[in-house]
Structure 1
Amino acid sequence: MNLHIRAATLEDTPAIDALLTAYAIARQGRLPGAGAALDRLTRPESVLAVVQDAQGIVGFGQAWPAGQAVRCFARVHPGHVGRGVGTLLLGHLEAEARRFGRQAFNVMQPATDTAAADLLTARGYEVICRVLRMEMSLEDHHAPAAKLPDGVELTSYGPGNDDAGCSLFQRERTAAQASSSGTDAATPANWQAWTRRPSNYGRTWLPRRGGTH
C-alpha cells in the first residue's frame, strides 16, 4: 500500500470531517463537534498534514505552539490502523514542529486508542498526565444549590431592577475610593468588590472577593 503525506488544505474539510467522525465513533463512542475539521484547519500557527492512500485521506494531524511545548493532534482512520499511517504522520509532524523552537512535543490521545499508545511508547514518548473526562445529561437535571463562602452574597438583577444594581455598585465603589484616599467617607465593614457579567437572562452582579475592580 502506497502512502503519501502532504499539507492539509481547506478543500480537505469534508474528507477530514468524515475521518474525525469515524474515529470519534470508534474510539470515543460519540460524534465530534460540528465543524471540527474546519476549526483545526483555520487555527493560526498550525502545521497541518494529511496522509493519503489510493482510497483517499486516512490520517490527519495538526501541531501548534503552546507555551514551552508544541501540542499535537493526530488521528488515523480506524479502518487503517497498523498500516504505517500513524508512523508517517507523527514523523512528519515531529520534524515540522522543530520550526517553533519549543522544548517538548506533546501528543493528546484518548486512552481508548490503544494502537496510538503503543506507537507513542515505541517512539519514546512518556505519559505526563491522564485526563478524566466526565459527562452528565442536562435533561431533567436540577443542580444542587452551591454553598457560598461566609460573608459573600449573590444577587441577580433583571431589566426591571437593574438601576438598583448600578446604584449599589456606585455607592460601594465611591465608599471604597473615599476610604483609600483618606477622606471621611466610611467603607462598609463587609465591603466586597463587584464585577458585572452579561448573561442571556438580563445582567448578573457577582461579588468578587478581595480588593477593588
Structure 2
Amino acid sequence: MTGTGALGSGLRPRWLPAGYRCRPVTTADAAAVHRLVVACERALDGRALTGADRISAELTLPGLRPREDTLLVCDRAGGPAGYGWVRGHRARVHVHPAHQGRGLGSGLLTWAETRARDLGGDRLAQTVSDSDGAGTALLRAGGYSRLVTEWLLEIALPREPAMPGPPAGITVRPFRPGDEPAAYQLTEDAFDEWQPRRKSYAEWARHTVERATFLPAASPVALADGQMVGAVLSLDVPDHDEGYVERVAVRRDHRGRGIARTLLWEAFRTFHRRGRPACTLWTHSGAGALPLYQRLGMTVRHSSTVYCRALVTG
C-alpha cells in the first residue's frame, strides 16, 4: 500500500475501493467521526458507548500528528465511511455499517500497521467489541492474539445509595482546583501496575481533568494526613443519561481498607442526585478490579477484547 507520507501528499492508497477518497482527520471532523463510531456501536450493541468528547480528546492528544496519524475515508457524497487513528502502540479502526464488506477495514488496518512501524513501534493493539465477529475474525487472520478483556460495568441508581462512613483516619471531599498534580501522580502510580507505559501529565489531563465533561462534584478524593491516597474521577457526558467514572485509584499502602468503595458510593450518590438513573465504568482483566465492582452490585453490560500483534520491521 501507499506509505503514510504519500497519503499526506494526496496519493491514493491501492487498497481504497473506487468511489472512495481519504484524507487526514481534523478537529472539525470530530462530530462526524463520533457519529460514525456511534453508528458502529449501535449496529453491534444497540446503544452508543463512546462520548463525543472522547473523540475530541483523541484528536488533540499531545504528540499526535493528525496529518500522519489519522485517516478519514469518505464516500462519494463526502460522508464518513471509515476512520483510522494510531498513537504509539494503539490503534482505532471503524467502518460505518453501510460500508462494510468492501475491504475498508482490512485497508485501514494495513494503514495503521504501516503507520505504527513508521513511528518505530514493535507492536500494535486494538480493542474490538466481543459482539463484532467480523472485526475479531479480521484481527485473528492478521496474526493478532488476545491481550486483555475489557468490561463496561453498570449499576442502577433507583434510590440514593446508603453511604458507608470513611475508614478511620480518612477524609473524603470533592475534587478541587489544585488537586490535579496529586491526582495525576496517584492514578498513574496505580495504573503503572498494568498499563504498558506511563502517560505524561499533559496526556493524562487531556483524558481526564481537561475534558469539558469532567465533573469535580462527582470526583471525590480521599486524604490521609493531608495526602491524597484515593481518587475517583468522573465525567458528565451530555449525550448519555448515565453517570460515568473514568478513573478509580487507591495508593498501594492504603488498599484493602474500603477507600475505593467509599469513593465510588460517593460518586454514585452525586450522580443519583443529578437525576442519573445509573452509573457506568470500564475495567479490564489486567487491573484485577472486577470482583470489587461486583461486590458493589455492578454487573457487566458489555465486553470487549484488546488484541495485539508484533510488528515485523525488517
Normalized against structure 2, the TM-score is what? 0.45
Q: 1:23 aligns with which of 40, 47, 51?
A: 40
Deviation, structure 1 residue 34: 3.0
Aligned residue number for residue 52 of structure 1: 74
Give the direction of change, closer, same or farther, for the CA distance of 1:83–1:99 in structure 2 (3 Å limit).
Answer: same
In 2, distance between residues paired with 1:156 and 1:125?
Answer: 43
In 2, distance between residues paired with 1:20 and 1:71?
Answer: 17
More strand by share: 2
Percent identity over the alignment is: 28
Structure 2 residue matching 1:62: 3-state secondary structure: strand
Query: RMSD over aligned Cα, in angstroms?
Result: 3.3
Deviation, structure 1 residue 37: 3.0
Q: 1:10 aligns with which of 18, 27, 34?
A: 27
- Aligned amino acid, residue 51 of structure 2: G
Deviations 1:99-155 (A, max 9, x none): 32222111111111211101111111111111122111234141563784xxx4334
Aligned residue number for residue 89 of structure 1: 108
Deviation, structure 1 residue 194: 4.0
Deviation, structure 1 residue 6: 2.4
Q: Any gaps of 5 or more consecutive residues in structure 1?
A: 159-191, 200-206
Give the direction of change, closer, same or farther, for the CA distance of 1:100–1:143 in structure 2 (3 Å limit).
Answer: farther
- Within-5 A mapping of 1:65-80: 65=88, 70-80=89-99
Bigger Cα displacement from structure 2, 130-139 vs 101-110:
130-139
Conservation of the 8 A alpha-carbon contact between 1:195 and 1:208:
no
Conservation of the 8 A alpha-carbon contact between 2:166 and 2:172:
no
Q: 2:52 aligns with which of 34, 49, 53?
A: 34
Give the direction of change, closer, same or farther, for the CA distance of 1:57–1:139 in structure 2 (3 Å limit).
Answer: same
- Aligned amino acid, residue 37 of structure 2: L
Bigger Cα displacement from structure 2, 46-55 vs 76-85:
46-55
Deviation, structure 1 residue 84: 0.8
Give the direction of change, closer, same or farther, for the CA distance of 1:85–1:208 in structure 2 (3 Å limit).
Answer: closer
In 1, distance between residues paired with 2:173 and 2:134?
Answer: 53
Aligned residue number for residue 227 of structure 2: 195
- Aligned amino acid, residue 103 of structure 2: G
In 1, distance between residues paired with 2:26 and 2:160?
Answer: 42
- Aligned amino acid, residue 148 of structure 2: C
Q: Any gaps of 5 or more consecutive residues in structure 2?
A: 1-16, 175-223, 233-250, 255-314
In 2, distance between residues paired with 1:73 and 1:35?
Answer: 16
Aligned residue number for residue 157 of structure 2: 138
Aligned residue number for residue 140 of structure 2: 121
Deviations 1:13-68 (A, max 9, x none): 33212212212222233223133432222223331111222142111111111xxx
Give the direction of change, closer, same or farther, for the CA distance of 1:142–1:48 in structure 2 (3 Å limit).
Answer: same
- Aligned amino acid, residue 53 of structure 1: D
Normalized against structure 1, the TM-score is what? 0.64
- Aligned amino acid, residue 52 of structure 1: C
Q: 1:63 aligns with which of 67, 79, 86?
A: 86
Higher RCO by CA contacts (8 Å cutoff, separation 6 or greater):
2
Structure 2 residue matching 1:35: 3-state secondary structure: helix
Which is higher, the Rg of structure 1 or of structure 2?
1
